[in-house]
Amino acid sequence: MEEDADFDESLKDIIDNISKFEEKYDRRVPTVFGGGVFDREDAERYMNLGCSGVQLGTRFAVTEECDAHENFKLAYVNAGIEDVSIVKSPVGLPGRALNNEFIKKLVDNVRPSFECSNCINGCNPLTTPYCITKALINSAGGKLKEGLIFCGENVHKVKQITTVKKIMSEFSN
């Protein structure tokens, strides 16, 4: 809980600095919090700290309306807290992903073959361990053994495929 309090204080400091910018330039700067927002309680926490809104990703990826393959959605539904690791993207940024055969190969330094389409600045196809575009397309298309399954830190809380309407009703009640 001390970690949560420290985080909350850091977020308040950021929002205070944004407020100073807004006053100085007479402009509104909406602050949207993303990362780890799962339910209404989470949203209210960040809104009470001064955020203008919140962003949800994982919850909406596991809806009937999402066009990702059912295998992708079921990977989220079946994920436990121990199934998540932090991986490095081809441009060096960290991301949270579900452990699978693709991740195991990366850990074992097995580089999948791919053709580069120059989709990301800063990605060097000669040294990158994988093509993020191909890895994301594979996972969204249901080829989970050959794909990167990015997820949120609360993916273990997902218990079923639902609808956008149901998620929105959770937040509006």
- pLDDT tens for residues 41-81? 999 999 999 999 999 999 999 999 999 999 999 999 999 99
Instruction: Say if residues 104 and 148 touch (Cβ distance below 8 Å).
Output: no
Determine the average pLDDT of the residues in 139-163.
96
Q: What is the pLDDT of residues 95-124, one digit of tens each?
A: 999 999 999 998 898 888 888 878 888 788
Paired residues of 85 in beta bridges:
97
For strands 53-55 and 32-34, give the pairing.
parallel
The rounded mean pLDDT for the chain is 92
Q: How many CB atoms lie within 10 A of CB 141?
A: 15
